[in-house]
Amino acid sequence: MQLKLTALIDTKSTPVVLRSEIIASFLYNCKMNVLKLDKQHTWHPYNSLPSRTKILAVKETYAQTIVLEDGSELVDAMSSWWSAIHGYNHPVLLQALQEQSQIMPHVMFGGLTHKPAVELCKKLADLSGLPSVFLADSGSVSVEVALKTAILYQKARGKNKNRFIALHNSYHGDTLGCMGVCDKKNSMHSLYADYLPNNIFCDVAELGQTIEKYKDEVAGVIVEPIVQGAGGMKIHDPKYLQIARELCTKYDIPLIADEIATGFGHTGKMWGCDHAGITPDIMVVGKALTGGMLTMAAMMSSKNISDTISNSQIGVIMHGPTFMGNPLAASVANASIDLLLSSPWEQRVRQIELLFQKGLEELKAHPLVADVRNIGAIGVVELKEASYAQAIQDHCVKNGVWIRPFGKLVYSIVAYTISKSELSKIILSIKEAIASIK
């Protein structure tokens, strides 16, 4: 197959985008059994090899739809893990990708710079109010950079403070530094316990007193603003952010807002922090940054933090991903941000919020349901037991809806471009799936 593929593609003259199209259609035409190969070679997230849960083979995507290999179509209730805010294959993003691929798909960022990256940094600085931007390749990497930056900030001021305060139910990514600030019960901490740092965890209600208690030990405080995502899909009153802001300012401790899931409008405001009217010292974004098309994330910090590190003996951030500032991803991110800002996204997200609220309301009285909550483009049903996830997913897929419950949580985060009928279909499927549980 290698030889035949090479014959098909002239690597010198065929643009990258076209090459991947040729490869994709070649593989498809080979009538390859995707699921069979998947079973033999492919790890899936949070899974065994072969997968111990059902895997569906996807042929293509468009708008709010996932098309499976067998031709069946699913309305997407997940927006690919909070990322595809404009739906799939949006022509504006595709055009940005295509145009950039003709000019410069990638070039190293060490010692070189380019228009897509600097434009993106300027946009992120303006949107966040934090002017110093570090581009990273995934959400987890940007969290690592944020943690390292907070430690460097302390060291630059002559302080050896290396611990962090994080919240119960937190989720900040799967790399080891990130795991160190994830809720212990959600991140298989116990398997890596000997390796992980000794950080401090508390409930949202205890954040103020915890900062007071550990102020002399901690390099930073890290929070998911307003909504805690994968660690529990909890929605909080903004007050804890105001308390954290006040105390972090008082004790000069960087407040890190992980807006990877909440950012770009998911909670109805551009940032989760906007609900509390605060600006953190460090913010990380990812997921919807590229409208879900390519992997890219960013850490933004205050000028005080970047100046303190840059003007100290330390001088530099010792971090440099190979694909940092990738021009394709940066161009798509620029296009995605422009598209978002030029759209009536606030009204759209408000509409979604009202539909989730009205549609899920009746589940509150269901005997299997522990709680129903929603905000912005996010709807959550928490069940009393964790054993129904697969049955609920199967039922929804049979009804033409893609959803991926985990544990007790059945949740949906939708593209802002979703139609009323598509969202109604998602809500109805969730209700019918729960009603079908015996």
Q: What is the 3-state secondary structure (H, E, C) of the chain?
A: CHHHHHHHCCCCCCCHHHHHHHHHHHHHHCCCCHHHHHHHHCCCCCCCCCCCCCCCCEEEEEECEEEECCCCEEEECCHHHHCCCCCECCHHHHHHHHHHHHHCCCCCCCCCCCHHHHHHHHHHHHHHCCCEEEEECCHHHHHHHHHHHHHHHHHHCCCCCCEEEEECCCCCCCCHHHHCCCCHHHCCHHHHCCCCCCCEEECHHHHHHHHHHHCCCEEEEEECCCEECCCCCEECCCHHHHHHHHHHHHHCCCEEEECCCCCCCCCCCCCHHHHCCCCCCEEEECHHHHCCCCCCEEEEECHHHHHHHHCCCCCCCCCCCCCCCCHHHHHHHHHHHHHHHCCCHHHHHHHHHHHHHHHHHHHHHCCCEEEEEEECCEEEEEECCCCCHHHHHHHHHHCCEECCCECCEEEEECCCCCCHHHHHHHHHHHHHHHHCCC
The catalytic position among 28, 36, 39, 46 is 46
Q: How far is the CB of 229 from ligand PLP (least distance, A)?
A: 4
Q: How far is the CB of 395 from ligand PLP (least distance, A)?
A: 25
The catalytic position among 155, 234, 287, 425 is 287
416 belongs to the catalytic site: no
Q: How far is the CB of 145 from ligand PLP (least distance, A)?
A: 12
Chain residues binding ligand PLP by CB under 6 A are 81, 138-140, 143, 171-173, 224, 229-230, 258, 260-261, 286
252 belongs to the catalytic site: no
Q: 167 or 401: whose CB is closer to ligand PLP? A: 167
Q: How far is the CB of 428 from ligand PLP (least distance, A)?
A: 27
The catalytic position among 88, 171, 214, 388 is 171
Q: 183 or 224: whose CB is closer to ligand PLP? A: 224
Q: 145 or 397: whose CB is closer to ligand PLP? A: 145
Q: How far is the CB of 344 from ligand PLP (least distance, A)?
A: 26
Q: 143 or 167: whose CB is closer to ligand PLP? A: 143
287 belongs to the catalytic site: yes
171 belongs to the catalytic site: yes
Q: 229 or 359: whose CB is closer to ligand PLP? A: 229
| Number of residue whose CB is nearest ligand PLP | 139
Which positions are annotated as active-site residues? 46, 171, 258, 287
